Homo-oligomer: A and B are copies of this chain.
Amino acid sequence: MEDSVKEEYFKLLRFESVGADPSKTDACAACAEYLSSWFGALGFTSEIVAPPDGSAPGFVFAELKSEGESRPTVLIYGHYDVQSPDPVEAWHTPPFEPVEKDGRVFCRGSQDDKGQSFALLCGMRDYISSVPADKRVNIKVVIEGQEESGSAFLMKSAPEMRRRLAADILLVCDTSAAEGLRPAIVAGLRGVGHLTLTLTGASRDLHSGVYGGIAPNAAQGMAELLASLHTPSGAIAVKDFLAGIEEPTAEELKYAEDGSPDDEAYRKDIGCEISGGEAGKSAVRRNSFEPTIEVNGMHSGYGGPGSKTVIPSSAVAKLSVRFVPGQSNVRALDALVAYLREKTPRGMKLEISEINYGAGGFRLPLASPVFRLAADVLAQMDPRGALFMWDGASIPVVSALRDASLASPLIVGWGQNGDRIHAPDESYSFRQFELARTWGYRILEALS
């Protein structure tokens, strides 16, 4: 990697652009400005589209028209916001200072998605500098600041910007390659939604002796409420949440199994049994084709050293869900809310807030021309050829951008499970960066 590129990359990483954290508004704005200038220097028209009241980080919208006639249009999507670095104390290096070690860059966002999307953009810059302007595709770019918290502003804006977003291909680099960096085309994504639960019992924390046996315990109640979400076999217990699910085809299941690590590799990666999801189904099926309800956090009462004999008056839990095709994200999340209300322990109040319906999941037809072209490019880059993958993760805004732009999504990323995205010590290797960059260059060339 040229020093100048590394300098740009590291500068991008140093912005503490945690889009979900209102205290990081300025860092997000500065990061967006930096990206917008970067596009400006390349000859793009570029602007930051943001809510007038400053209530959310804006997105960069940049455009470079081809000088040729009737050229196809590629819409590139990425995000500059990152997950919270919490728990900060678990990092081995400062979360917002890029540190090189063993050919990797350790930093929050080094992969997800500053690293992956910036690598793709560097490939795009290589393409622009080597392909004459009249031979190029039209390029539109959206880099947003709320992906990790639901993309609310971009999802709201996209339908109003249909004409400006109109494109043929929607190019996204925010996913993983298969094991050993074998290229992978994402043929489907799960959807995602989330909500916050607050359960309240007594009007204050109470002494566990004086009131024990009398007052309801909000921590115990929350534990019961959350435990009710799954059956003992790990299946989701919320029947109406599961309504309408489309089972994968035999072909999809076969491709998915082919592209998936084996159980032992998963065990080694996560450091424990792969006991998530419903017992009796394969790991890849549970991850790619089944929905989930995950507790992302739960907090109640005392957590310090020693003991505090208190009956907590309230408990908070954060849940996220993954949707699969056939589920309506709105109906499924409403069904979850109704179930939680029904299961609210006696004597307590349940408040549901920060509800985000997100977007449903999707699967794309394997035989499309775009997929064939991409497979050719990837086969040139790697003799093993590309796999199809159905990623368990979600990019809700891809659905919204697909609807607004009418483009075919082409989602190829270069992450690996060991990158520790969303966790302390996130990293991305220079090798991964260069693969993403090469991919960006070659696919644009192939589409030209």
Q: Does A37 contact B (CB under 8 A)?
A: no
Q: Does A370 contact B (CB under 8 A)?
A: no
**Chain B residues whose CB sits within 8 angstroms of the CB of A201 once the complex forms:** 270, 272, 275
Q: Are B270's CB and A422's CB within 8 A?
A: no
In the complex, what's the smallest C-beta–C-beta distance from A251 to chain B, in angstroms?
21
Q: Are B292's CB and A297's CB within 8 A?
A: no
Q: Does A110 contact B (CB under 8 A)?
A: no
Q: Are B217's CB and A294's CB within 8 A?
A: yes
Q: Does A223 contact B (CB under 8 A)?
A: yes
Neighbour of A276 across the interface among B211, B227, B290, CB < 8 A:
B211
A87-127: which residues lie under 8 A (CB-CB) from chain B? none
Cα separation A220 to B425 with both chains bound (whole Å): 24
Q: A207-B422, A275-B216, A287-B211 are in contact. Are A318 and B302 (CB under 8 A)?
A: yes
In the complex, what's the smallest C-beta–C-beta distance from A241 to chain B, in angstroms?
14
Closest to A278 in B: B213
Q: Does A305 contact B (CB under 8 A)?
A: yes
Cα separation A286 to B217 with both chains bound (whole Å): 14
In the complex, what's the smallest C-beta–C-beta distance from A397 to chain B, in angstroms?
14
Kindly name the residue among A211, A216, A283 whose own CB sees the greatest number of chain B CB atoms within 10 A: A211
**Chain B residues whose CB sits within 8 angstroms of the CB of A270 once the complex forms:** 201-204, 206, 211, 214-215
Q: Does A210 contact B (CB under 8 A)?
A: yes
Q: Does A64 contact B (CB under 8 A)?
A: no
Q: Are B271's CB and A307's CB within 8 A?
A: no
Closest to A415 in B: B210
**Chain B residues whose CB sits within 8 angstroms of the CB of A345 once the complex forms:** 275
Chain A at the B interface: SS class? loop
**Chain B residues whose CB sits within 8 angstroms of the CB of A230 once the complex forms:** 220, 224
Q: A213-B292, A223-B223, A347-B273 are in contact. Are A297 and B287 (CB under 8 A)?
A: no
Q: Does A308 contact B (CB under 8 A)?
A: yes
> What band does the interface of chain A fall in when counting residues whose beta carbon is under 8 Å from B?
35 or more
Cα separation A63 to B201 with both chains bound (whole Å): 46
Contact with B along A188-217 (1 / 0, CB 8 A): 001010101000111111111111111111
Q: Are B318's CB and A308's CB within 8 A?
A: yes
Q: Are A292's CB and B212's CB within 8 A?
A: yes
Q: Are A301's CB and B309's CB within 8 A?
A: no
Q: List the one stretch of A3-11, A156-164, A386-394 in contact with chain B.
A: A386-394
**Chain B residues whose CB sits within 8 angstroms of the CB of A420 once the complex forms:** 204
Q: Return the 5 tightest CB-CB contacts between A and B, nearest first.
A: A209-B393, A203-B271, A275-B347, A273-B347, A297-B301
A-B contacts, 26 of them at CB < 8 A, read A20-B307, A20-B308, A83-B310, A84-B304, A86-B308, A148-B308, A196-B307, A200-B272, A201-B270, A203-B271, A208-B292, A209-B394, A210-B417, A211-B417, A213-B392, A214-B276, A215-B274, A216-B272, A220-B230, A223-B295, A273-B346, A275-B348, A296-B308, A297-B303, A299-B299, A309-B422
